[in-house]
Each structure stands twice: as C-alpha cells, then as structure tokens.
C-alpha cells in the first residue's frame, strides 16, 4: 500500500535517530542481533533488512564474527551493497563490464545446490583496470524465484545484484566457500586479457537464507596481486 512503512523501515529509522542523537557513538557497537530482535519483536531476517538500510545510508558497517572475507588492495570487501558498491570507493579507477545477464537453465547446478527449479539468473562480470587488464571475473547464479523471475528484462538498480536480492526479500543468512589457486584457461585468459596459465585465486561461494534455501552461488577468479582472502576471528557486531 502507498505510504506503508514496513517493520524493517521502522527499525532502521529508530536506530538511525539514535545514532544521529549520539546514543550509539561513532565506532561503538550496536547491541547484538538477539538483543535487537527481542527489543523490536521481529525475526533476524527483518532485523538484517533494517541493518541493510542503515548500511546503505552509511550509518553502520557490519562484520561477521568468525569467518573469511576478501580484501582489495588491503580493503575488506564486505560492503553491505556488494563488491560493485565497495570497489567504487577504491583508489584505483575500475570499470565493470557485464558479459552475461540473462535467465539460464542449468540442471547440473540445480542438482548440486538442491534448488527446486533449474532456472537461474546468470550475471557474469569482469572488472578492469584503466589499461583494460582484468583483475576479477565473477559468475553469479541466483535462483529465478519470486520477484527475481524476469530480472534480466527489468535490469539492475544501480548495477547492484545485491540491491535486487534485498528488494526481493532474499537476504543471505549464512554462506560457505572454497578458495584455491588455478591457472587461467585460454577462454578466461582471453576475457581477462591475461596470458593462459596465469595463476589466479578461485573463490567458490554459496549463500543461503535463514530457511536454508539458496540465495546466490558465486564463482570468482581474482588477481592475487590485488585480492587476498583473510580470516577474521572474535565476536561479531555492528560498528
């Protein structure tokens, strides 16, 4: 309904007001997810939607308590809007070239991920330096369910797939991944404008919603001279 304020928007406004009023000072942690869900009487999914809004407004940054994260030139790429938004603020001028954005049918992937449908939104992107050399090649596959069906025809808001996922209510709750080093084959080397056999980091990740359903599967080839994988340990929070 026009003018309707959703629960996560109400929570985001309340927390934003507190941050601006100095209740939560710069650099301090917000209360944990459990405390906030109890306070507002909502699910973790709704709370995370609210935190996503605060992240988009630049009021908070979220960090996983224990896990791994990718950095570009030493800067963590755990921006809530995804790498496209995070890399925009990098000191190096980068361009993003979309190689593929369409619905695809992949029975093999559906079997591996256990998705009920074999139709996926496929988004392949290469990020380049000003000289045209590619530093990353990312292939995302998103189950084309609900509001995500037909997404390629509608296009991406601001070029962000993460924004489209949030708008569709597909919020990652957990993820797992594997990293290895692979020599570029001829096809990928041509796309990246590198020599075949050049070693690149290969990162394979699967993100799932709170109910266990697959939100997104991503495979990335990353230039090890610019990207690295780090491990973070300790208690998580929002600062």
Q: List pLDDT tens digits, range 92-111.
A: 788 889 999 999 999 999 99
Number of domains in the chain: 2
Percentage with pLDDT > 90 across the chain:
41
Among candidate residues 40, 60, 80, the one where a domain is terminated? 60
CA distance 157 to 163: 7
Confidence (pLDDT) at 239: 39
Confidence (pLDDT) at 27: 55
Considering the domain architecture, whether residues 31 and 92 belong to the same structural domain is answered as no
* pLDDT band at residue 235 using 50, 70 and 90 as cut-offs: very low
Considering the domain architecture, whether residues 51 and 81 belong to the same structural domain is answered as no
Which of 225, 228, 223, 221 lies closest to 139 in space, CA to CA? Answer: 221
Lowest-confidence pick of 29-43, 103-117, 128-142: 29-43
Considering the domain architecture, whether residues 24 and 132 belong to the same structural domain is answered as no
| Residue range of the domain that includes 16 | 1-60
Phi/psi of residue 21, each to 5°? Answer: -85, -5
Residue-wise pLDDT tens digits, 113-126:
999 999 999 999 99
CATH number at residue 39: 1.10.10.10
């Amino acid at each position: 309904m026009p003018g309707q304020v959703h629960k996560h928007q109400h929570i985001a406004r309340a927390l934003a007001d507190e941050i601006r009023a100095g209740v939560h000072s710069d650099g301090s942690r917000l209360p944990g997810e459990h405390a906030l869900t109890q306070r507002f009487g909502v699910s973790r999914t709704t709370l995370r939607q609210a935190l996503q809004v605060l992240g988009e407004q630049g009021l908070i940054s979220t960090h996983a308590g224990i896990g791994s994260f990718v950095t570009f030139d030493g800067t963590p790429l755990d921006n809530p809007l995804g790498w496209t938004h995070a890399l925009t603020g990098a000191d190096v001028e980068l361009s993003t070239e979309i190689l593929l954005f369409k619905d695809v049918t992949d029975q093999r992937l559906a079997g591996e991920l256990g998705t009920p449908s074999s139709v996926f939104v496929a988004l392949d992107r290469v990020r380049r330096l000003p000289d045209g050399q590619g530093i990353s090649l990312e292939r995302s596959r998103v189950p084309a369910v609900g509001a995500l069906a037909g997404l390629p025809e509608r296009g991406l808001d601001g070029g962000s797939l993460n924004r489209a996922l949030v708008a569709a209510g597909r919020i990652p709750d957990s993820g797992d991944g594997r990293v290895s080093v692979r020599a570029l084959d001829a096809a990928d080397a041509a796309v990246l404008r590198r020599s075949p056999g050049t070693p690149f980091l290969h990162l394979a990740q699967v993100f799932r919603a709170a109910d266990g359903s697959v939100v997104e599967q991503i495979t990335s080839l990353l230039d090890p001279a610019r990207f690295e994988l780090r491990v973070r340990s300790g208690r998580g929070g929002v600062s």
